[in-house]
Amino acid sequence: MTRELFEKKLREMQEDVLIMGSMVEKAVQRSIDSLRTRDAALSNSVVSDDIAINKKRYEIEDKCIHLIALQAPMAADLRIIVSILFISNELERMADHAEGIARINLMLGEEALTGPIGDIMLMGEKGIDMLRRSLTAFIERDDASARSICDEDDEIDALYDSSYHTLIQDVIRTPQDVERVTYLIWTCHNLERIADRVTNICERVIFMVTGELEEINVSRY
Amino acid sequence: MVVDNIARTQTERDLTSIPTIPQSERIAPISGAAVVDVQDFSAYYGAFRALDGVSMQIAEKKITALIGPSGCGKSTLLRCINRMNDLVDGFRAEGRLTYHGQDLYDKGVDVVEVRRRIGMVFQKPNPFPKSIYENIAFGPKVNGIKGNMAEIVEHALRQAALWDEVKDKLQQSGLALSGGQQQRLCIARALAVQPDVILMDEPCSALDPIATLKIEDLMRELAKEYTIVIVTHNMQQAARVADYTAFLMMRQDRAGELVEFRDTDALFTRPRDKRTEDYITGRFG
């Protein structure tokens, strides 16, 4: 085996993606928990922790650029590094969505949380599960699994549809609830986008394994 | 989750474990016309088989790069294309190597004419110890090319992107030029006899990075009018300049074998054969 240093750095970068994925998973989980339990302190910590996630993303990007510049990677090596660049960007944006949900919880203030909360939480849990499995597919080079995760985005879209319609009905019935409903629609949108970004990660996994760039499951939103 | 997955990175399924695939999937067809067609071609130096059963095409007005570890037979293949190997004692070829449909190894083929139409540029610049002008004019004179010799010389030097640098010192010795200029002079010398194909055997290996980039730019320019085949050890160079790339390797019996041939973009980003992947990612060679 040659290129031991390169191999080591490549392995480290994949571990960085997993660490960042774990940070993002935690951010999303805590953002929906804070909304469910109306925990302002937890929301505030999601907002402040986002700085560390942004920093991690730039750290990964920096390592990718250095490895490309110094090691001139080719073929599968190049595909791994390019995929890591994209995946770290997707993860960083997912964390921004989590931060958005945390801020919504803060903006809701003391207002009671009513509406399709069960479906909203389900979207969050489902998105987290998809994220976790997409990173497993990344490590295991499992393009088949990545494809099947993309298909699951339809379930998130269906939950989004149903929550959206419920919330619109709410505001028609009680127009004074417009602020609460708007905040919850934003929450749904953030969760829907998180799942879309999981499908983007899966597309990069497929590219990494096959060399083919494909748009797997185009979201309706 | 993190711990589980980090453990997986240690035992990950190796992306480079691509199984070796049939030849039909490793050797891709070219698009457009072929100038040179190599079919089941083998080359021997005495009893030693240097190349075994190579089949590939050289596309017209494109750059084809031959890459591979030392001893894989890439220079042998290049030199077979204009029968330079005939000069080596004990050389023998089997199979077919045609140029515009004509088998180059048929009896009766005029080897001098083959080498005029299929010119060659070598690893080390080798200008004649004569003036810049004479270096260019020599070939056309010997080959009986008619026309205004001063114009022929200027045209060849312009094609080789050297004219502006030497137009005021055409009577100076070619050996007084820098390494990069000498190599461009050798390219101009090859162009002056109006070839169709130019073979380049590691043309930049003796040059600095700036001179190398100049030659690479020149190659791209020349590919508008000429068919170019280049042997290079520099994979980045092959990736930068070539339209098609062939990867050769030495087998256990030391015979050179064509492992993979396809368009450069695909070969360097999505090689089909594990051996190609291993070589271009620096895992052996």
Fold classification of B30-128+199-280 (topology level): Rossmann fold (3.40.50)
Flag if B2 and A22 touch (Cβ within 8 Å): yes
Ranges of each domain in chain B: 30-128+199-280
Fold classification of A4-210 (topology level): Methane Monooxygenase Hydroxylase; Chain G, domain 1 (1.20.58)
- Could you tell me the mean pLDDT of each successive run of 10 residues in chain A, 221 residues long? 82 97 98 96 97 98 94 93 97 98 94 90 98 97 96 95 96 92 96 97 96 79 64
Q: What is the pLDDT of residues B76-113, one digit of tens each?
A: 999 999 999 998 999 999 999 999 999 999 999 999 99
The shortest C-alpha distance from B9 to chain A (Å) reads 6
**What does the pLDDT average to over B226-233?**
97
For the cut 60, the answer to whether the pLDDT of residue B7 exceeds it is no
A135 contacts on B by Cβ (under 8 Å): 1, 5
| CB contact B265 to A (< 8 Å) | no
Pick from B1, B13, B283: which is nearest to A3 by CB?
B283
The shortest C-alpha distance from B267 to chain A (Å) reads 8
Instruction: Determine the residue among B1, B247, B273 to mutate to test chain A binding: the one whose Cβ has the most chain A Cβ atoms within 10 Å.
Output: B1
Residue A112 has a pLDDT of: 79
Q: What is the pLDDT of residues A45-74, one digit of tens each?
A: 999 999 999 999 999 999 999 999 988 899
Selected residue with higher pLDDT from B207 and A137? A137
| CB contact B270 to A (< 8 Å) | yes
B282 contacts on A by Cβ (under 8 Å): 2-3, 6, 74
A211 contacts on B by Cβ (under 8 Å): 269-270
A2 contacts on B by Cβ (under 8 Å): 282-284
The shortest C-alpha distance from A182 to chain B (Å) reads 34
B237 contacts on A by Cβ (under 8 Å): none
Pick from A21, A77, A211: which is nearest to B281 by CB?
A77
HEC sequence for chain B: CHHHHHHHHHCCCCCCCCCCCCHHHHECCCCCCEEEEEEEEEEEECCEEEEEEEEEEEECCCEEEEECCCCCCHHHHHHHHCCHHHHCCCEEEEEEEEECCEECCCCCCCHHHHHHHEEEECCCCCCCCCEHHHHHHHHHHHCCCCCCHHHHHHHHHHHCCCHHHHCCCCCCEHHHCCHHHHHHHHHHHHHCCCCCEEEEECCCCCCCHHHHHHHHHHHHHHCCCCEEEEECCCHHHHHHHCCEEEEEEECCCCCEEEEEEEEHHHHHHCCCCHHHHHHHCCCCC
B280 contacts on A by Cβ (under 8 Å): 74-75
